[in-house]
Amino acid sequence: MKKWPIRWMIAALVMGVVVGAVLQETFAPITREMVAAAEQIIGLEFTDAERDSLLPDLEEHRKRYQEIRKVALNNAVPPALLFNPIPPNQSFPRQQKPIRWSAPGSVRVPDNLEELAFYSIGELAELIRTRQITSLELTQMYLNRLKRYDPQLKAVITLTEELALEQARRADAEIAAGKYRGPLHGIPYGAKDLLAVKGYKTTWGAMPYKDQYIDETATVIRKLEEAGAVLVAKLTLGALAWGDVWFGGKTRNPWDLEQGSSGSSAGSAAAVAAGLVAFAIGTETWGSIVSPSTRCGTTGLRPTFGRVSRHGAMALSWSMDKIGPIARTVEDCAIVFDAIRGPDGLDQTVRDLPFNYTPEIDLSQLRMGYLKSAFERDTAHQAQNQAVLETLQKLGAQLIPIELPELPIYPLSFILSAEAAAAFDELTRSNRDTLLVRQIRNAWPNVFRAARFIPAVEYIQANRIRYLLIQEMKKLFDSIDVYVTPSFGPNLLLTNLTGHPCVVVPNGFDETGHPTSISFIGDLYDEATVLAVAKKYQDATDFHKQYPPLFYPGGSKGQK
């Protein structure tokens, strides 16, 4: 008879215990040896006497875990602990001043109506306001483009055609009656499909939820409807807000269909870049607006944490999730942000603070920092980055070299992992995480499982270091008003942890013809300044006016 290797025998024994425990809804007693093994995972060491003392408490904890798990907690239930990004003694302006958007200039409907697909919100708004075109005509044009081009891009999960046509007709009737709601009235847009829309599926891009209906409408969608905007599509996201792979495939980069659009706001950035929507709503926890905006050559705003209500949005990390626009221009982002910001009485993290945006800003009167080590480290895009600094100097900016706080940044990333694992606890425990398309090590199923071994103490300690980061960033912004940085690197995670706003804009193309980007970081709740600075830079360049030839009428990459 053939003998089994000892490791097989041990594995079989362990599997038998586990299976037996599951079938009987009991667990093997916790032993001193189990504790010793667990110590190796968390990097601590106890004595045998200490381990023996632990055993009754660990058994009690496990019983309590089981009791807690009997309570149904869906993704919409937040923890009672709320993240506060505001340092002690920091105050903010309270007076809201009138906002004057940039004048659109002389705008006419082009001979080829599809060229409008690449007009800015300001330009489209002027055409609608002056009734040179109707919202219905514009909406039908975008719907036709969505149907024609999405088989190549895979950027759409659900077309909301019936709703869109209804909203467009309503907008036209209101405008004809003299009830003009503002620059978003009648403008077609798309929303990342982690935002609930009553009557339509909200799939979160993930196979386990592909037929999910949520019986409510997210606050952001409701606010845009109140502004008169027209929802034409629910757009793709990497499954559960990671990457560009969803249950229907991979969303493509309009500049290179062999390449993914990055994520997780994959469809939002791709659809804007390809001229399938006038703007889109994305979300960011750690780069999910910045990364696809970079890949697709769009402009994005990640607002301050606590600026935009997340009610009706899929929760990934309650202390890091943020909702913001992806669009053609900086001012497009400002227009959308003005419509979606502010409290709704449902998301307790949202603060009621003014947004005093003006496009008129004198860079010579600002203290503008640049993240010196990041510019030195990003050698792959040195030419584009250096050109940004030179452009800002020509515009009058006096650039001040700065550095980030000297505290560990990447070690804090498990804050996101722990919160995400809690948000999708039931998915892991039910074993339905195996339905997700991506099952590699660097994907949610594995991350959720690994997060079960993050000690609660270490999660709290990481957030205490995060508190120190917030204080250090307050000191940095005591000496500057805004800073510019390459889009990737430690700054991206750090500012997502501290909640600072970011505007990402295209700044050129690499040697392979793919778009590149630069990011501007503002102080907490000061989107007005960082948007105005980014607009000043963008107005001095034309990278945002370059379009992917496969999707622009006539196949031109140049300006309209």
Per-residue burial over 211-250, b if 16 or more Cβ lie within 10 Å, else e, is: eeebeebbbbbbbbbebbbbbbbbbbbbbbbbbbbbbeeb
pTM score of the predicted model: 0.94
Residue 288 appears among annotated catalytic residues = yes
Residue 291 appears among annotated catalytic residues = no
Contacts by 61-68, CB closer than 8 A, 24 or more apart: 62/27, 62/30
CA distance 297 to 548: 9
Residue 53 appears among annotated catalytic residues = no
**Residue 208 contacts residue 126 (beta carbons within 8 Å):** no
**Residue 282 contacts residue 262 (beta carbons within 8 Å):** no
Q: Which is catalytic among the residues 120, 261, 264, 319?
A: 264
Strands 188-192 and 245-246: unpaired
> Which amino acid belongs to residue 548?
P
Domains in the chain: ranges and CATH? 113-408+457-555 (3.90.1300.10)
> Which amino acid belongs to residue 398?
Q
CA distance 274 to 298: 10
Strands 230-235 and 188-192: parallel
**Per-residue pLDDT in tens (0 to 9) along the chain, 560 residues:** 344 444 443 344 444 444 333 333 589 999 999 999 999 999 999 999 999 999 999 999 999 999 999 999 999 999 999 999 999 999 999 999 999 999 999 999 999 999 999 999 999 999 999 999 999 999 999 999 999 999 999 999 999 999 999 999 999 999 999 999 999 999 999 999 999 999 999 999 999 999 999 999 999 999 999 999 999 999 999 999 999 999 999 999 999 999 999 999 999 999 999 999 999 999 999 999 999 999 999 999 999 999 999 999 999 999 999 999 999 999 999 999 999 999 999 999 999 999 999 999 999 999 999 999 999 999 999 999 999 999 999 999 999 999 999 999 999 999 999 999 999 999 999 999 999 999 999 999 999 999 999 999 999 999 999 999 999 999 999 999 999 999 999 999 999 999 999 999 999 999 999 999 999 999 999 999 999 999 999 999 999 999 999 999 987 765 44
CA distance 21 to 27: 5
Q: Which is catalytic among the residues 288, 319, 517, 519?
A: 288
The tokens for 212 are 């999910």
SS (H, E, C) 60-128: HHHHHHHHHHCCCCCCCCCCCCCCCCCCCCCCCCCCCCCCCCCCCCCCCCCCCHHHHHHCCHHHHHHHH
207 sits in the region (left: phi over 0; alpha: psi -120 to 50; else beta) called alpha
